[in-house]
């Protein structure tokens, strides 16, 4: 059987399974934008077949249909976090250019709110995070085609918030131009904050020194990341994932700091002034005697760490 026949067979089977999954509610219809964005995989699959089909390694041509199958699976998984909206779907795939648009949203303070659980994903756009005494959450940003998504709900004294910025800052498929996109976000600073932040911007900066911080998890894909904590670092669970060529941590000058990481990551790091190594990571020399202590879990690929005392 020709590999091309296998390839087209897999494509038609995949399309059928996709529509069945949508009809039975396993997937929603926004799987299509994710699938369409993977169209270059078809070109790669055809190229793999053309290279190997007339050689003694012809069996490698079977990678062609496997690549297409993997693309279907990835599209299904990637689109799983989206909810269906025809207007948003049309904005994703209509070609009308309307220029730069502004997006602003505010969520007012509810008197009995004492905890905020926040999830933020801003992709490769910039993020400016600051405290607010006046509202639970507010955002100001701009976009060109795909508007951000905000969802929130209140359960008892807890507010659950999710903010997702969905547009790529690159102005063309060849990355010729970067659009200037900044998410200006303000969060109520009198409630306990649990935050998960995902960003792919090259130089993110976060200042959590004014928040009543309970837990924060970062997912980074950056060249240089700057994160600042205040005295709240002693009460907070902090985790940094992903990768960053350089990580700059600003912490109170009198605090003992502990960095927990896997053994291979410890060996990869150069010595840091004022720290000593122990089996689970690094500690400041004053860690045992310090009045306040903070722990940061590093599950990230980081080449260089710079600790700054404030």
What's the pLDDT score for residue 97?
47
Q: Which residues contact 288 (CB under 8 A, 6 or more apart)?
A: 256
- Regions of the chain with pLDDT less than 70: 1-7, 21-37, 58-59, 75-99, 170-178, 264-268, 270
What letters, b where the CB count within 10 A reaches 16 and e where it falls short, cover 186-224?
bbbeebbbbbbbbbbbeebebbbbebbbbebbbbbbbee
Tally the C-alpha atoms within 13 A of residue 167's C-alpha that lie toward its C-beta: 28
What's the pLDDT score for residue 178?
66
pTM above 0.75, yes or no: no
Mean confidence (pLDDT) of the chain: 80
Which residue ranges make up each domain of the chain?
3-93, 101-309
Tokens of 9: 């067979």
CA distance 35 to 221: 24
Q: Which residues contact 216 (CB under 8 A, 6 or more apart)?
A: 193, 194, 195, 196, 197, 208, 236, 237, 238, 239
């Amino acid at each position: 059987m020709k590999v091309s026949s296998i390839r087209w067979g897999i494509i038609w089977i995949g399309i059928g399974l996709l529509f069945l999954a949508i009809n039975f509610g396993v997937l929603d219809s926004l799987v299509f934008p994710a699938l369409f964005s993977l169209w270059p995989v078809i070109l790669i699959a055809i190229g793999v077949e053309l290279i190997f089909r007339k050689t003694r390694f012809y069996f490698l041509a079977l990678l062609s249909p496997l690549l297409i199958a993997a693309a279907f699976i990835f599209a299904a998984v990637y689109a799983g976090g989206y909810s269906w909206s025809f207007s948003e779907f049309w904005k994703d795939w209509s070609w009308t250019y309307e220029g730069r648009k502004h997006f602003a949203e505010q969520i007012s303070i509810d008197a009995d709110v004492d905890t905020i659980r926040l999830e933020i994903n801003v992709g490769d756009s910039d993020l400016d995070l600051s405290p607010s005494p006046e509202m639970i959450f507010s955002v100001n940003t701009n976009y060109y085609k795909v508007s951000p998504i905000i969802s929130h709900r209140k359960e008892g004294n807890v507010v659950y918030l999710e903010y997702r910025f969905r547009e790529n800052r690159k102005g063309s498929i060849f990355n010729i131009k970067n659009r200037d996109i900044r998410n200006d976000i303000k969060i109520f600073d009198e409630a306990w904050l649990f935050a998960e932040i995902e960003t792919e911007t090259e130089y993110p900066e976060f200042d959590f020194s004014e928040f009543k911080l309970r837990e924060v998890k970062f997912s980074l894909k950056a060249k240089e990341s700057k994160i600042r904590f205040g005295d709240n670092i002693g009460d907070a669970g902090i985790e940094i994932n992903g990768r960053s060529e350089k990580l700059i941590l600003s912490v109170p000058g009198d605090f003992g700091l502990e960095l927990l990481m896997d053994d291979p990551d410890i060996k990869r790091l150069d010595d840091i002034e004022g720290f000593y190594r122990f089996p689970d990571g690094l500690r400041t020399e004053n860690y045992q005697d310090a009045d306040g202590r903070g722990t940061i879990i590093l599950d990230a690929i980081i080449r260089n760490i710079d600790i700054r005392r404030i």
